[in-house]
Chains A and B, each alone.
Chain A
Amino acid sequence: MALNVLEERALAELDLSHERPFRLADHLSSVRAASAVVVLLLWEIFGRQINPLFLSYPSAIARALLQLLNAGEIQRQAMGSLQVFAVGLSGALVLGIIVGLLMGRYRLAEYLLDPYVYALDATPRVALIPLLLLWFGLGTSSKIAIVFLSGLFPVLMNTFSGVRTVSAHLVDTGRAYGAREGQIFTKIILPAALPFIMAGIRLAVGRALIGIITAEMFTAVTGMGALLVRYSSALATDKFFVPVIFLALLGVGLSSAVEKLQKRLAPWKETERAL
């Protein structure tokens, strides 16, 4: 609301401006920084007094990080994990999108497949890990299978519900103008469902990351998850935190990368489904 001149003058005469008393709520970013620093400091102080077998402290973790980086151990294991992750996830994305498109477009496919899809989607994927290990052994293929299964359902379900929400008018218009089924898929349905698919991919990336960690923790042979198990059973707590921090950063990096991709590929609509 704009004030007129008289009101402005009256306000100036009354001199309502007074120094605001200091309030913590006005300095939120400093509070945030202080909170982080205090916790790190407390961790450092208490961590040094506690038996190093049970809890480490920030400076020891930093030292361990440098040591492992120099030895090349982290890089080597990370490469292994990321390759498995990439193969399993791409498989999940391809199959998830194709099956999701088919189930969304054709009712026969939907009714044939949805009992399995819903049942498997509700099954906690971790419960399948022992079975997959039995079938595929302790090597790369069982890890790929676990990553694949972890990533498959978020993409599939989101693609499916994305296709279902594509307006029938759009499809009818396309058909009225003589679009073939292939064109309807690639030029109408896919773009319209893309925001959903991207949201599904975002969920899938997170799930697949958890999948690869769990799989590697179980097989405990190679990869970041194996490092976690190895260092924790060796009670090397400082080293244990190195892969933890790496995985946290990886998670944040991947999800922000997908988010960026999502904004670029599907800027026209923001929808997602919580799973």
Chain B
Amino acid sequence: MISASDEQLINELGLRRRHRWSLYDHPNLIRAASILFFLVVWEIYGRETDPILFTYPTAVVEAFFKLLATGELLRQAAVSLGALAAGFGLSLVLGVGLGLAMGRSRLAEAIFEPHVNALYATPQVALTPLLMMWLGLGFAVKVAVVFLFAFFPILINTASGAKNVSASIVEVGRAYQASRRQIMFKIVFPAALPFIMAGVRIAVGRGLVGMIVAELFTAITGLGAMLSLYGNIFETAKMFVVIIVLAGLGIGLIHATQMLERKMARWKESERAVS
């Protein structure tokens, strides 16, 4: 710690070293230069290649505004987001519910564990064709696929969160005559919340993947369908628009959950890696 008098002394003695300007103090400058360089190279190189296979930034921007103007992009995005929200909501409700039950009751855990483990081990993409067979190509199949992708991270994190709630807190609650419901909602749930939120963060990304996979395969409506359509008719610039929108969606959703996580579960940071 340098006190005020020390500062004065340093100044008087002329000991303060002038901080040399360093590029490393301005990381955003380097980042901006890097992006600019990339875009310029892409633009120059992209204009020379076959527009069927490749495109360039200005063409992508142009395509973006065109798609925005026709309302195509917003309409399909709304469809996609609807399916994402429905599937994710469903997996949130069921995942947290079943997770709390499995975390609190060893009996429930023993009953559900073999099936949860088996289904969790199965790569969920592999089940998509079966779901399409059962549910057709409409809205329902998208919701089901999103649900399947997002359900397990939430379930597994909630269960391990509820299991890790300190027994002494629960005992104190019981000693003060808390009912089962109060123990669940006033003790176990808040204590497990950081785990649940970590699961939610993983699940959001997975849900988005599920949505895209479902739409790519059904290829009728939604952003994934646009992607596959433009791929088939070699509209590369429009394809890039959709990819960039999806990337933005991914970044936005992850940031939103991180903020929510910090807000809702400030008291503890723990997570479990779910691959």
Binding site for B on A (CB under 8 A): 24-25, 28-29, 31-32, 35-36, 39, 54, 107-108, 110-116, 118-120, 122-131, 133-135, 199, 202-203, 205-207, 209-210, 213-214, 217-218, 225, 228-229, 232-233, 235, 237, 240, 243-245, 247-249, 251-252, 255, 272-275
Minimum Cβ distance to chain B for residue A80 (Å): 16
Within 8 A of A (CB), among B65-105: none
Q: How far is the CA of A136 from the CA of B143 in the complex (A)?
A: 31
Q: How far is the CA of A225 from the CA of B118 in the complex (A)?
A: 19
* Residues of B with C-beta under 8 A to A251: 121-123
For residue B242, CB closer than 8 A to chain A, the reply is: yes
Is B107 within 8 A of A244, CB to CB? no
Query: Of A124, A206, A225, which one neighbours B208 at CB under 8 angstroms?
Result: A124
For residue B43, CB closer than 8 A to chain A, the reply is: no
Is B123 within 8 A of A209, CB to CB? yes
For residue B190, CB closer than 8 A to chain A, the reply is: no
Q: Beyond the given A39-B115, A273-B273, A274-B201, could you list 12 further A-B residue pairs with CB under 8 A, ordered by the A residue number?
A: A36-B114, A54-B133, A111-B24, A116-B38, A126-B216, A127-B212, A130-B216, A130-B227, A134-B234, A245-B122, A248-B123, A274-B272
Query: Of B109, B126, B201, which one neighbours A247 at CB under 8 angstroms?
Result: B126
Is B242 within 8 A of A127, CB to CB? yes
Query: Of A108, A124, A209, which one neighbours B30 at CB under 8 angstroms?
Result: A108
Q: Chain B interface: which size bin?
A: 35 or more
Given known contacts A36-B115, A130-B231, A111 and B30 CB-to-CB distance under 8 angstroms: yes
Is A122 within 8 A of B231, CB to CB? no
Is A232 within 8 A of B130, CB to CB? yes
Given known contacts A31-B111, A124-B246, A134 and B231 CB-to-CB distance under 8 angstroms: yes
Minimum Cβ distance to chain B for residue A38 (Å): 9
Minimum Cβ distance to chain A for residue B49 (Å): 11
Minimum Cβ distance to chain B for residue A99 (Å): 14
Minimum Cβ distance to chain B for residue A98 (Å): 18
Given known contacts A31-B110, A35-B114, A123-B250, A115 and B275 CB-to-CB distance under 8 angstroms: no
User: 12 A-B residue contacts at CB 8 Å?
Assistant: A31-B107, A32-B110, A36-B114, A111-B24, A111-B31, A112-B31, A123-B246, A127-B224, A127-B243, A134-B234, A214-B125, A232-B129
The list of the 10 closest CB pairs from A to B, nearest first, reads A130-B231, A232-B129, A206-B275, A111-B30, A123-B247, A248-B122, A31-B110, A122-B250, A28-B110, A274-B273
Mark each residue of chain B from 24 to 45: 1 if its CB lies under 8 Å from any CB of chain A, else 0.
1001001100110010000000
Minimum Cβ distance to chain A for residue B156 (Å): 11
Residue of B nearest to A154 (CB): B275
Given known contacts A124-B246, A272-B273, A213 and B227 CB-to-CB distance under 8 angstroms: no
Is A232 within 8 A of B133, CB to CB? yes
Is A127 within 8 A of B123, CB to CB? no
* Residues of B with C-beta under 8 A to A206: 275
Residue of A nearest to B244 (CB): A123
Within 8 A of A (CB), among B202-216: 202, 205, 208-209, 212-213, 216
* Residues of A with C-beta under 8 A to B243: 123, 127-128, 131
Is A126 within 8 A of B212, CB to CB? yes
Is A28 within 8 A of B107, CB to CB? yes
Given known contacts A107-B27, A126-B216, A130-B227, A228 and B129 CB-to-CB distance under 8 angstroms: yes
Q: How far is the CA of A130 from the CA of B34 in the complex (A)?
A: 27
Minimum Cβ distance to chain A for residue B177 (Å): 23
- Between A39, A108, A123, A218, the greatest number of chain B beta carbons within 10 A of the residue's beta carbon is seen for A123
Is A112 within 8 A of B123, CB to CB? no
For residue B251, CB closer than 8 A to chain A, the reply is: yes
Minimum Cβ distance to chain A for residue B83 (Å): 14
For residue B236, CB closer than 8 A to chain A, the reply is: yes
Residue of A nearest to B246 (CB): A127
Is A244 within 8 A of B122, CB to CB? yes
Residue of B nearest to A129 (CB): B216
* Residues of A with C-beta under 8 A to B247: 119-120, 122-124, 127
* Residues of B with C-beta under 8 A to A113: 34
Q: How far is the CA of A108 from the CA of B33 in the complex (A)?
A: 12
For residue B169, CB closer than 8 A to chain A, the reply is: no
* Residues of A with C-beta under 8 A to B236: 131, 134
For residue B176, CB closer than 8 A to chain A, the reply is: no
Minimum Cβ distance to chain A for residue B136 (Å): 12
- Between B124, B130, B134, the greatest number of chain A beta carbons within 10 A of the residue's beta carbon is seen for B130
